Amino acid sequence: MKICLAGQGAFGIKHLEAIAKIDGVEVVSLTGGNAAGTEEVARRFGIPHWTQELGESLGQPGVEAVILATPTQMHARQAEECMRAGKHVMIEIPIADSLADSERVAAVQRETGFIAMGGHTRRFNPSHQWIHRRILAGELRVQQMDVQTYFFRRTNMNAAGKPRSWTDHLLWHHACHTVDLFQYQTGEAVADCFALQGPTHPTLGIAMDMSIGMKTATGALCTLSLSFNNKGPLGTFFRYICDNGTYIARYDDLVDGENQAIDLSRVDVSMNGIELQDREFFAAIREGREPNASVAQCLPAMRTLDRLEQCLK
């Protein structure tokens, strides 16, 4: 399967590293926003074609699919461009930064019939998969999720510590992971929610601290704290308080409430959530089916984010 990747930054590189472990998939073109950086990444990963124009990548012979790891503000427009060019597309989280654009992406998917998937990696992390399988088996029910998403940001830097051309967002990017995961793990839509935010940064123009609360119709709760002001351990930490145990997930690690490690080595073929996400995308294309985290399945999270945004206005 020949694919192209758009985005030469930190997350684009994460996808290239993951794809290198997947048989039968070849990245034949790389689209980037920075000419020198795009060429450097293409040469490093042996990608034969690179460009700054997505349309040029889409026109490469035999390309079936695209992974978009570009700035959030470009996702909806580029996803539509890919599908209208006859390509399947995976859109890194979030699929858009507004509900209207998210619904437009879903509408184009229905119109064209091509596979469109959101990069909702938490669904694929072995730690969260382990919890999800026990929920489906009737062994667990989520009563409350307490989640902390913490970074330290003062400038527009990516995960690799390099300057980025766009400004990240606590609500439409980082909260999206947890909003989707909460609804995925409970199997319910959010019935009630609220959001509070701290002061806006004078140069970045975004809120640096945020607090979110959510509740499902049956009473499951989620409390999410987010910050770009945290100068300490970074990342996202999930506490699942269930009717039959408490579990703490840190990316691909999982412990119980007594801090005993849970063996996740047999959950899936890899411990890398991004690799598993990419494998699902390629498998759905080959099998002609809807993928887990299709854009249609992402819409409930986007609707909740829109409601939370209204709380902040």
**Per-residue pLDDT tens for 130-144?**
999 999 999 999 999
Strand order through the sheet with 235-242: 190-197, 209-216, 221-227, 142-150, 235-242, 245-250, 253-256
Q: What is the three-class DSSP state of 65?
A: strand
CB 62 within 8 A of CB 37: no
Q: Report helix, strand or coil for 80.
A: helix
Query: What residue type is assigned to position 91 of the chain?
Result: I
For residue 275, the model assigns a pLDDT of 98
- For 168-225, the DSSP string reads --IIIIIIHHHHHHHHHHHTS-EEEEEEEE-PBPTTT-SBSEEEEEEEETT--EEEEE
Instruction: Report, as an integer, the average pLDDT of 116-125.
Output: 98
What pLDDT score does 233 carry? 86
Superfamily name and number for 2-121+274-291? NAD(P)-binding Rossmann-like Domain (3.40.50.720)
Residue pLDDT, tens place only, 160-200: 666 666 678 899 999 999 999 999 999 999 999 999 999 99
Mean pLDDT of the chain: 95
Q: What does the block give as tokens for 26?
A: 């070849």
In the structure encoding, which two tokens stand for residue 266, read together? 């047999």
In percent, how much of the chain has pLDDT > 90? Answer: 90
Residue 158 near residue 92 (C-beta atoms within 8 A)? no
Tell me: domain 122-269+300-312, CATH 3.40.50.300, correct?
no
Query: Tell me, what's the pLDDT at 274?
Result: 97
The pLDDT of residue 159: 61
Chain region(s) in the chain for CATH 3.40.50.720 = 2-121+274-291
Per-residue pLDDT band at 65 (split at 50, 70, 90) = very high
Q: What is the pTM of this model?
A: 0.95
What pLDDT is stored for residue 157 in this prediction? 65
Q: What is the pLDDT of residue 161?
A: 65
Average pLDDT over residues 102-129: 98
Query: pLDDT-based confidence at 232, cuts 50/70/90?
Result: confident
DSSP category for residue 229: B
Looking at residue 280, its pLDDT comes to 98
Give me the percent of the chain exceeding a pLDDT of 70: 96
Where do you find CATH 3.30.360.10 in the chain?
122-269+300-312
